[in-house]
Amino acid sequence: MSVARDRIEPSHFCSGPSVGHCSRALAAGPIFFANAATPAIDKEKNRFLAFDIAARRQGQAGAARLNPGAARLRIRVPQFCAHVCLMTALLWPAARAAAQEVAPSAFPASAARASDFIPASAIAAVTVEKGAARLDEFRKGPLMQKIEGSDLYRALQANPGFNQAKIGMMGVSGATGVDAWELFGTLLGENVTLAIEPFDGGKPNLWIVCVTDRPETARKLSETVNQFLGLVKEGQADPTRSREVAGVRGYQINHEAYYAVFDNVIALTNRPDALEKSIRLKGATTGRLSDLEPFRQARSRTAYDALAWAYVDVESLKTQLKEKWIPEKLPNGFASMIFGGIVESARQSDMASADLVVAGDGISVNFFLHTKGPLPESERAYFAPPPPASAWSTLTLPRSLGEISVRRDWYELWTQRDKRVSAKGLAELSEFANNMTNLLGSLDFGDDFLSQAGDELRVLSNLQVFPDGKAPMPQLPAFGMILPLENAATFGQRLESAMTMAFSLISMQASQNNKPGLLLDIETYKGCKLICAKYPDPPADAAPLPQHYNFSPAAAVVKDRFIVGSTKQFLKDVIDAAEILPSQTQSAANRASSYLNVRMKELGDVLRANLEPLLAKKMLEEGKTRAEAQFEWDILLRAVNAAEQFVVSVDRVSDGLKATAKLELKAAPRLAEPRP
């Protein structure tokens, strides 16, 4: 290899024990040749990578050779990266300039897709779309500026770990001679797919295939890797660690990584035969993952502007998992009642897909489980039809933290439970029902209570307001359940007496265990009778109050709803909100059969109110100082503060099950143009 001092290629990267070493070497016109032909993870202390470093001075241009007596150095990876970066920044400006000559836009986008180079036998794949373009837009866009100007970013910059990672990234780009953004853009490309194929002999085959829009950078990257790892020596591919297939040379990085670059494709796999399969699919029109109809269906279901999407061949997955696949009867009775519909849909599914959409208003993940036929009649109880439009659905509490809503035909599920739940789960449910029956006095939990319960069970939560100096620690939000009643007028009275009995029993049991007992009371609020219980007033000098002062349980029947809450104020908030319902004119939107909503501002308020115990936990468990713990919580709270709310909904559609999780951001610019 001939190297001129005034023209240094990025591939002639430098590494070594010190900047001084390298400076001297450069001054004399040599290269400081780092051969990492045998990088290996030290299994004892896997933070370290061992490299055989051979330092060789060359007086003039000439071939660099391996020094057989190379000194063995142990290098910590982050420090190594930082070291390479510093040297590159100081000594290799030419290399950086050379990398910038590769203009990303110079190469036309390819019509080929990464899934064209993955065999149809793959059972799962994740594809990132237009990663390079999105990265470019992100880098140059207002969001990046916003991030760099944000308090969060400034806070992160004070963190040594963040800076170490940043320096490490710079080091990697220095070693390859390619700007880090350019490097990531090349690897993300037009589209990149990660796929998995079961392998009878043990670990599955894995692929990461990228169709890049920057083949020239990919080639340079490949050359650098080959040079760095000793896969090419003196211009010749090492025949022991490379092989040519269909005119394409594949290389072995280590015993679990093989790669090839051909045309505008970068393929990385964990087995040589898997790499060969990819290469042989070049120019093929059948046998590719992209030729599979379910795969195409999955793609057609993804949002047009999805950043990433995934496909799973559930049929094949079932075959692979055999008896580990979901059992017919679930072992957990409660999970069966709540999540049985989702589980049953998964059992019937033949294909699953998901997509990730990052847009200006938030980040959402959509899941879809395709089922072969309609939902069996026996499973309809999991997806009870929406109730008639009711103003209750619009009920919103002040200081609302969020809610969970599940719509089921509870009584039907209860009476048919032996068909869905294992013997162990049935025993759990029976024990629970017995306890509830005891608490409810004369009411049988199944036959009396559930038979009168409507379908839509909502659990709402809102923040409590504590008087100054009288806050318990931790400060928990209030929460409560709202359940429609079939026959509120008559059944409501029985429930009221049952709740009086329940609070009495709870109080008695607490007293028997040396726990504070409850004082029972009945209060009328806006015409509603509240069955209340509260703990005796704390001593005047008690601060902070013990955590049981978060609770003053209460129950009431309000209109046609049974409400039981962790505090009396929660019930009053519900009654206040219900009072204005009739004046609301908008029709109530139907919720999904399962729905979760968390409001981030209130979540942040809860965390802030409990910062002291949260700091204590970090200080005790991680040995951090108060300032360090505070810093980490600040970052989390700022992240929470950036979001508006988190919503999850799950519902049955005609051909399957659809679920969406969305994190709504307060305000963020769009990250990418919509896909045409």
The answer to whether 279 touches 245, Cβ cutoff 8 Å, is yes
Exactly one of 47, 76, 154, 526 binds another protein (CB under 8 A); that residue is 47
* CB neighbour class for 441 (10 Å; exposed up to 12, middle 13-18, buried from 19): middle
Which residue from 38, 61, 64, 34 is spatially nearest to 50, judged by alpha carbons? 38
| Residue 544 in the binding site for another protein (CB under 8 A) | yes
What is the CA angle 97-98-102, rounded to 5?
110
CA 260, CA 74: separation in Å to the nearest integer? 29
Total binding residues toward another protein, as defined by CB under 8 A: 29
DSSP 134-197: HHHHHHHSHHHHHHHTSHHHHHHHT-HHHHHHHHHHHHHHHHHTS-HHHHHHHHH-SEEEEEEE
Comparison of 106 and 543: residue with beta carbon closer to another protein: 543
User: Structure tokens of 192?
Assistant: 């990149």
Sign of the alpha-carbon dihedral angle for 59, 63, 69, 72: positive
Q: What's the min distance (Å) between Cβ of 547 and another protein?
A: 6
Q: Stretches 29-37, 348-356, 492-500, 543-551: which one binds another protein (CB under 8 A)?
A: 543-551
CA-atom Rg of the chain in angstroms: 32
473 binds another protein (CB under 8 A): yes
Least distance (Å) between residue 542 CB and another protein: 6
Tell me the closest approach of the beta carbon of residue 612 to another protein, in angstroms: 4
Nearer to another protein, 47 or 675 (CB): 47
Footprint (CB under 8 A) of another protein, residues 391-450: none
Among 30, 294, 472, 565, binds another protein (CB under 8 A): 472
Return the residue of 71, 97, 625, 675 that touches another protein, per CB under 8 A. 625
- CB of residue 672 to another protein, shortest distance in Å: 40
Near another protein by CB under 8 A: residue from 236, 377, 621, 667: 621
Q: What torsion, rounded to 10 degrees, do the Cα atoms 598, 602, 608, 609 define? A: -110
Give the residue carrying structure tokens 């969001």: 143
Provide, rounded to whole angstroms, the least separation between the CB of residue 380 and another protein.
44
Q: Which of 641, 648, 647, 649 is nearest to 666 (CA)?
A: 641
Residue 49 binds to another protein (criterion: CB under 8 A): no
Binding span for another protein by CB under 8 A among 55-63, 284-292, 435-443, 470-478:
470-478
Stretch near another protein under the rule CB under 8 A, chosen from 152-160, 380-388, 448-456, 616-624:
616-624
- Is residue 102 helix, strand or coil? coil
**Rounded Cα–Cα distance for residues 517 and 622 (Å):** 37
630-659 residues in contact with another protein (CB under 8 A) are none
Extended strands (E) in 281-432: 308-313, 349-359, 362-371, 400-407
8 A C-beta contact, residue 403 and residue 477:
no
Which range, of 106-114, 372-380, 618-626, 666-674, touches another protein by CB under 8 A? 618-626
- CB 277 → another protein: shortest distance, Å? 40
Nearer to another protein, 232 or 545 (CB): 545
Q: Does 545 bind another protein (CB under 8 A)?
A: yes
From the CB of 285, what's the least distance to another protein, in Å? 52
**From the CB of 514, what's the least distance to another protein, in Å?**
6
In angstroms, give the least distance from the CB of 53 to another protein: 17
Nearer to another protein, 385 or 546 (CB): 546
**Which of residues 623, 654, 674, 676 is near another protein by CB under 8 A?**
623
Kindly state whether residue 617 participates in binding another protein, applying the rule CB under 8 A.
Answer: yes
Angle between helices 626-641 and 600-609 (to 10 degrees): 160
Tokens of 532: 């209340």
User: What is the widest separation between alpha-carbon atoms in the chain?
Assistant: 101
Residue 538 found at the interface with another protein (CB under 8 A): yes
Binding residues for another protein restricted to 199-218, rule: CB under 8 A: none
**Sign of the alpha-carbon dihedral angle for 101, 104, 109, 112:** positive
H or E element in which residue 599 lies: strand 594-599
Our CB check for another protein shows the closer of 620 and 636 to be 620
Stretch that binds another protein, among 1-9, 204-212, 300-308, 617-625 (CB under 8 A): 617-625
Q: What are phi and psi of 132, to 5 degrees?
A: -65, -45
198 belongs to the binding site for another protein (CB under 8 A): no
What's the min distance (Å) between Cβ of 125 and another protein?
35
Q: How far is the CB of 616 from another protein (least distance, A)?
A: 4
Contact status: 76 vs another protein (CB under 8 A): no
Length of the chain: 676
Smallest gap, in angstroms, from Cβ of residue 118 to another protein?
38
Distance from first CA to last CA of the chain, Å, rounded? Answer: 48
* 602 close to 402: Cβ distance less than 8 angstroms: yes
Cβ proximity to another protein: between 158 and 540 the closer is 540
Q: 487: Cβ–Cβ under 8 A, 6 or more apart, which residues?
A: 452
In whole angstroms, give the CA distance from residue 224 to residue 173: 11
Q: Using the rule CB under 8 A, is 620 a contact of another protein?
A: yes
Q: Are 463 and 606 in contact (CB under 8 A)?
A: yes
Which residues share a beta bridge with 666? Answer: none
Is 154 a binder of another protein (CB under 8 A)?
Answer: no
Is residue 514 near another protein by the rule CB under 8 A? yes
Residue from 29, 78, 441, 516 binding another protein (CB under 8 A): 516
Task: Give residues in contact with another protein (CB under 8 A).
Answer: 45, 47, 472-474, 513-514, 516, 536, 538-539, 542-547, 612-613, 615-617, 619-623, 625-626
